[in-house]
């Protein structure tokens, strides 16, 4: 029989995945697969967006590692959705390499955040506080 608790228990590796995703988002403008050179003054908002979103994802994952709260997962999901939408909102969807990276990384942040929220949904505040790390 399979262990059904795998998807129903919040595990520390999920927080480490969130931290790794935050770092990847921060460095995504410099990924070597980019077709165009986006690191110039006219594209500095792309670097700023990547850095801020990556730092927030990294920080939220670190907070989740220390103490569980449902708002952290909700904030991670919102950041992932912003990262998916940002190429279209900030106008860099023509750079297909960065757009693909941000959609992929944003989707992974949303998936990990939704999994963690689903795992923590029925826990009381006392159970969240006692969560072993």
Q: Does the predicted model carry a pTM greater than 0.85?
A: no
Measured from the Cβ of residue 79, the count of other Cβ atoms closer than 10 Å reads 23
Per-residue pLDDT of the chain (133 residues; tens, 9 = 90+): 445 555 556 677 888 899 999 999 999 888 765 545 545 555 678 889 999 999 999 999 988 888 777 788 899 999 999 999 998 998 887 778 888 999 999 999 999 999 888 887 776 655 555 555 5
Nearest to 68 by CA among 112, 29, 107, 124: 124
Distances (CA, A) of 18 to 22, 40, 64: 6, 29, 9
């Amino acid at each position: 029989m399979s262990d059904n608790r795998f998807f129903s228990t919040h595990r520390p590796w999920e927080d480490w995945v969130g931290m790794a995703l935050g770092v990847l988002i921060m460095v995504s403008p410099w990924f070597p697969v980019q077709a165009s050179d986006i690191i110039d003054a006219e594209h500095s908002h792309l670097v700023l967006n990547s850095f801020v979103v990556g730092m927030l994802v990294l920080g939220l994952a670190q907070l989740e590692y220390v103490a569980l709260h449902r708002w952290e997962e909700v904030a991670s999901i919102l950041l992932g959705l912003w990262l998916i939408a940002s190429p279209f909102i900030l106008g860099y969807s023509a750079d297909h390499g960065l757009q693909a990276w941000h959609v992929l990384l944003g989707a992974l942040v949303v998936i990990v955040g939704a999994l963690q929220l689903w795992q923590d949904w029925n826990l009381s505040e006392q159970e969240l506080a006692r969560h072993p790390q």
